[in-house]
Amino acid sequence: MPALIMYPGIIYGPVRSRRLGLSLGVNLLPVGRKICSFNCVYCECGDTTELIDQARDEQGRPTTFPTIAAVQQAIEHALHRYPNLDTITFAGHGEPTLHPRFPEIVQTVRDMRDRIQPYARVGVLSSAALLTRPRPRVGIDLCDLRMMKLDAGDEATFEAIDRPAANIRLETIIAELSRMPNIIIQTCLVDSDRVNNVRGEPWEALVNAIDRIRPDLIQLYAVDRPTPEPWARKVPWDVVQSRADELQARTGVLAEPFA
Ligand code: SF4
């Protein structure tokens, strides 16, 4: 298995990107364990260690997630160390909204941001799998930038690419996304003999889903690092560009390819 990304702590970066500017990464997942509601074939963090659809320790049971105090301390230190951040982004090696105290953590970070770096935005990269759950949803809605994954417009392609935990249905996700204002959709393009979302019926279903959701922006990208499934190979850049052009022309939704 090639080297995959696993963050050693709560803070990583900051890294500069075209969309987020100088972005401080925040990992709310336990060290050494990838906990997610999906197990995407292209995930650069490797195979999901625990495929779950809800955190199980809201009733005071022991948890291995970092505490609010630990997150607060790590981010406060980083906000003083890196004074010109554009974005503080919840992402990490798994699904950040699975943290059982996610809404409280987002509010804590917002308060620190207001005090220390008022021009930085608070963002989240999410699978969108937990939008019907109250606590993940409250935390997501507290973020200034909401970047939601959508890799498919039909259940079969969704199951094949994202390999979700039981009880997670694509139609529920699309319905919730279509009710959310001011969101960014991020789509990883996949092409292989086993599954694809760039041609034929899967592509048509994806276009229709974007037309229903009508996000502020859709960003299309292709994997650029080793993946758990070697057959989930890189989609060429010209294909990413042409699909973005087609998507924008057919739906009127701003679409951009990004690396
Ligand atoms: S949702 Fe993100 S972290 Fe989870 S498996 Fe997919 S790519 Fe990896």
State the average pLDDT for the chain. Answer: 91
Per-residue pLDDT tens for 118-156?
Answer: 999 999 999 999 999 999 999 999 999 999 999 999 999
Question: Which of ligand 1's atoms lies nearest the C-alpha of 48?
Answer: 5
Site residues for ligand 1, CB cut-off 6 Å: 36, 38-40, 43, 45, 48, 94-95, 127, 149
pLDDT for the residue numbered 4: 64
11-257 classified as CATH 3.40.50.12160: no
Question: Which of ligand 1's atoms lies nearest the C-alpha of 93?
Answer: 3
Ligand 1 centre distance from Cα of residue 116 (Å): 31
Identify how many contiguous H helices and E strands the chain contains and give both numbers.
Answer: 7, 10
Torsion of CA 61, 66, 67, 68, to 10 degrees: -130
Nearest residue (by CA) to ligand 1, atom 1, is: 127
pLDDT for the residue numbered 122: 98
